[in-house]
Structures are given as structure tokens and as C-alpha cells.
Structure 1
Amino acid sequence: MADNAARRAKFYARKAELDAERQGLTPEEYGVYKGSVGSAVQPVNSASGLLIISIVLTLISIGVAYGAVIIVMQSMGLVPVVEGDTEFTPVMWLFLFLMFLAPVASWSYYIKERRAQKLRLARGLPRNITESGPSA
């Protein structure tokens, strides 16, 4: 499974390199992959769009973390348990932990695209680019 994920990551990295080369950009100036191969919807890949997604995911994670703290406090007896509450199983804790990886990934994509955007602006190129080329 990890091998498949690594292959998929290399596939998209290579597609990004080819598209950057086709547009006359370095991979650093290109940023995150701009295509929609493997996507059912048009992906968000501008720095401003990635920033909004990152903020939303972070806010959701903060809310979930607050809920997790309440659950821990209930299990310690510091907060009364409401009748009908479900005990958290180890599997639930695992998925809770994995959920916190989404904002981390989102912020890393935002940082990569923002750096690329700054490099493009320094060269006098448009702020945003698409798979087909520069956009306004």
C-alpha cells in the first residue's frame, strides 16, 4: 500500500515537472500540481484557495481537538458523562489522530504554492497559473 502511494506521488510529481517545463517554469516556480488527472472535481491549487482550505481544516481540527479533550476529561471523571455517550475505542483514536494530518498537508501545499507564487511575481509572471498556462 505504501508502495502504491509512493508510485502515485511520483506520478503527480512527474506530471508537475512536465507541465512546468512546458510552460517554461522551474518546478519551484510551478508550485503544486495544477492538473485535474485523477480528480472528480476541478482542484483548488491557487495560494489563496489553499489558504482558505487550510484555515477551514485548521478550525475543524481545533473543534475536534476540543471534543477529544472533553472525552478525555470525561474518562478521567473531571466532567460528567452524558447518558448515551459512546466510549472511544483505539480505532476511533487512530482515525482522530489521522484526521489531524489533513491540515498539516494542506498548510504544506499552501506554503509550496505561496513560495512558487512569489518566485513567479519576481520574474514578472502572472500570480496564478493553470495546467494550460498563465491565468489572470
Structure 2
Amino acid sequence: MKKIAIFPGSFDPFTKGHEDIVIRGLKLFDEIIIGLGHNSKKKRYFDLDTMMQYIEETFKDYPHISVIAYDELTANLAENHGARYLLRGLRNTTDFEYENSIAQFNKQLVGDLESVFLITSPAYAYISSTIIREVHRYGEDVSAFLPYKL
């Protein structure tokens, strides 16, 4: 059976840390679907369609990686795409606390859905989409943190 994983997030923006998790995830999964989700608690800074194009361009040479936008529960998205795994990156213990709760809830929603956590590579552990947005908002160059050109 094909091992399909969803890599969900708002990806506002998609960083080199995210890219690292996806590429490393290919060692574990046959296919990875990057899902740009709608977060009702957040207003996007970078346009969703533009971000999808940036991510698609980043992975244009990886036929086993696709990009979709979604506005539903992540567990349902996985079920609807035949994915039995959610791929998540962890930078620190704060990320773990948050992701652990979500993973357990997703498991209750879809019993055979497994969350797989990869520890962010040290070179990218300090990169945060929130900080990148703030730096960009004040006109600074953030290209060193992104796998594409804004």
C-alpha cells in the first residue's frame, strides 16, 4: 500500500524549515501532499494562491510532492486523500505540546491516522513564519529564510 502523508499548515510563509521537513519526509513516505489550510484564527499575510505557486515552484522537480489548499478538518482532508499519515515538524517543546494535542484529537476523529513528527534540522530551528512576517512587514529582506524569491 502506498504511504501518503499530508503536511498541513498555514505556511504564511512557507520557509526553508518547512522545505527541509518535506524533503526529509520523502525518505519515509511515497507521496507527500502539502496542504495549505485555512486557519479561522489567522488572517493571511501572504496571498494563498501566490504562496501555493511558490511552493509548487520549489518542488517542481519532485513528482511525489503536490500542493493543495483546503478548508476542512485536517483529519478529514487526510481521509479524503487516502493519507494515513500527518507529517509535522517540531522546533521545540512548545511545538510538541501544541502538536501532541492536535495529533491525539485527529486520532479520535480518524482512528488509523498517525501523526509523524520530525525534529527540525538545527540550521532551521530558529526560523518562524511569524517572525518572517514581522521582519518583512518592516521592509527587511527575508530571502535567506525562504526556498523561493518573493
TM-score norm. by structure 1 comes to 0.24
More helix by share: 1
More strand by share: 2
